[in-house]
Structure 1
Amino acid sequence: MKWTVMTLVKRASEILSERGIPSPRLDAELLMCCLLGWDNRVKIYTAYDRPLSAEEVEAYRQLIKRRVKGEPVAYITGEKEFFGFRFKVTPAVLIPRPETELLVEKSVELLKSMSKETLKIVDVGTGSGCIIISIAKLLKKDAEFFATDISRKALDVAVENAELHGCKVRFLKADLLEGVEGKFSAVVSNPPYIAYSDRRVESSVKMFEPSVALYAGKKGTEVIERLAFQSFDKLEPEGFLAVEFGEGQSEKVRDIFERAGFSTIKIFKDLSGKDRIIVGFKKE
């Protein structure tokens, strides 16, 4: 049989569907684009009848086999879109997720409203660097950007992404904010917030994504608690801490922020209506 782009995509999506893979058609199309070096899935429909060589068919089959085993598409293709920007990802970093875009959106809104001439922002547990880089590209104000991570491999990915997007970010290897000098206008973070016993974690996430970026301890809020107390000391007056947290944790994280000394605490819901982002301000 002579395979074309569309006939092979259709067959691959059928296979993925049969194996219970979520969004089988989308995954099949993304992997085809990866194979052929196409930037946009529209090309699949404009070049649907392009014939594929035996080598291309075999290479695509290998990509589909990896997806069938549960490996995330982002790790197979080596990239993921976040806030409209494309980022390199590897198994050393958490895959950027749509709900985290709310953290960027709210942080940028608050930073734009600040009256300070020069801002200093630090992203804690930066991973791929998608949060701080997106903020840097969207802020349009005079600012210094910093990011920390405990993983050197993750920092290497973040550095590469910053260079790719032409953003000047100072990356620091640190456990949260330990040993980080200076004061900041804002601390932002998508920290680990999953409890060790949480059974809601998808098997592919447990198998492939870095556990250090996922799990926080027995309660799930241990890292957020450490970060809140560290951040309060590191923030300038009127500065804020913005953190993503997990489902069912809103009361716990609010209590943590209050105990750490934050005031005017606000919680924002994601597009699915779940409490997702908490922001606390340090009074002058």
Structure 2
Amino acid sequence: MKLVKRASEILSERGIPSPRLDAELLMCHLLGWDNRVKIYTDYDRPLSEDEVEVYRQLIKRRVKGEPVAYITGEKEFFGFRFKVSPAVLIPRPETEILVEKSVELLEVMSREKLRIVDVGTGSGCVIVSIAKLLKKDAEFFGTDISQNALAVATKNAEIHGCNVTFLKADLLEGLEGPFSAIVSNPPYIAYSDSRIEENVKKFEPLVALYGGERGTEVIERLAIQAFNKLEKDGFLAVECGDGQSEAVRSIFKKVGFKDIEVVKDLSGKERVVVGFKKE
């Protein structure tokens, strides 16, 4: 489609990182297509004047830096499609490592019924993905400090047919343990970190991004709470930022976790830290 080509040129001129992909995704969103291949198989599909105008508005929003996921209202994660809004962090591929490792550990746990909680659930992508992938009897919970985020997570659980109990809470406060596993992609960016893209700070919820002066303060609070709410041999798994794994490992060790493991993401960065309660 000529309009997609022109849109990608405009996005490129404005410095948008993936101009062609974004132009195609927005066209698919406009036309209700699930697959970008249709842009090439149905390239001669005529657009009405109204459709052209709506597409122009979508491109204008992207030019201003608004993420495609917020414009379309959805994002793929672990092969599943999730609803998103500015109330939640956009799911990222590196967080799939947290899901993958958690499911791997949960599958070998010998329990009649597992109890799993996702702290700072946001869109619910982590706990819903675990619920869909885990082949064992389990209860699933998700907590978040934001009621608007919980509304998005609840919708995603309904869409994917998962029975998850979502609760408004600051980390694990007010939750009754014990849990078999506690997982989290918590806020872990330090206030002073200058590597964060301006558009991320502009559009995504800051409460889900910043973890304190060092970036690990929220993880520290979570580790203490989690240790007290885990059953024997249960585990805590958290995502952390590039260069933070040693600090997080130290926090886990100080709190009392054993058999601490660090898992790398596909780019080789130490992304997830896991610790077990052995007493």
**Smaller-chain TM-score bracket:** over 0.9
Letter in 2 for 1:247: D
CA distance in 1, matches of 2:37, 2:133: 27
Structure 2 counterpart of 1:277, from 259, 267, 272:
272
5+ long unaligned stretches in structure 1: 1-5
Q: Matches of residues 182-221 of structure 1 in structure 2 within 5 Å?
A: 182-221=177-216
1:85 aligns with 2:111: no
Letter in 2 for 1:127: G
Q: Equivalent residue for 1:261?
A: 256
Q: Matches of residues 116-195 of structure 1 in structure 2 within 5 Å?
A: 116-195=111-190
Letter in 2 for 1:47: D
Deviation at 1:52, TM superposition (A): 1.1
CA distance in 2, matches of 1:190, 1:250: 13
Deviation at 1:182, TM superposition (A): 2.0
Deviation at 1:51, TM superposition (A): 1.3
1:177 is paired with a residue of what secondary structure?
A: coil
2:231 is paired with a residue of what secondary structure?
A: strand
Q: Equivalent residue for 2:62?
A: 67
Letter in 1 for 2:159: L
Q: Equivalent residue for 1:243?
A: 238
Deviation at 1:226, TM superposition (A): 0.3
CA distance in 2, matches of 1:54, 1:160: 33
Deviation at 1:42, TM superposition (A): 1.2
Letter in 2 for 1:10: K
Letter in 2 for 1:226: R
Deviation at 1:163, TM superposition (A): 0.4
CA distance in 1, matches of 2:127, 2:217: 23
Q: Equivalent residue for 2:22?
A: 27
Q: Once the two structures are superposed, what CA deviation does each residue of 1:21-43 show, in whole Å capped at 9, x if it has no partner?
A: 01111100000011001111111
CA distance in 1, matches of 2:8, 2:73: 20
1:113 aligns with 2:119: no
1:45 aligns with 2:9: no
Letter in 1 for 2:172: L
Deviation at 1:179, TM superposition (A): 1.0
Letter in 1 for 2:97: L
Deviation at 1:54, TM superposition (A): 1.2
Deviation at 1:74, TM superposition (A): 0.2
Number of residue-to-residue matches in the alignment: 279
Q: Once the two structures are superposed, what CA deviation does each residue of 1:95-145 show, in whole Å capped at 9, x if it has no partner?
A: 000000000000000000111121000000000000000000000110000
CA distance in 2, matches of 1:63, 1:113: 46
Letter in 2 for 1:216: G
1:225 aligns with 2:227: no
1:31 is paired with a residue of what secondary structure?
A: helix
CA distance in 2, matches of 1:128, 1:153: 10
CA distance in 1, matches of 2:169, 2:182: 14
Letter in 2 for 1:197: S
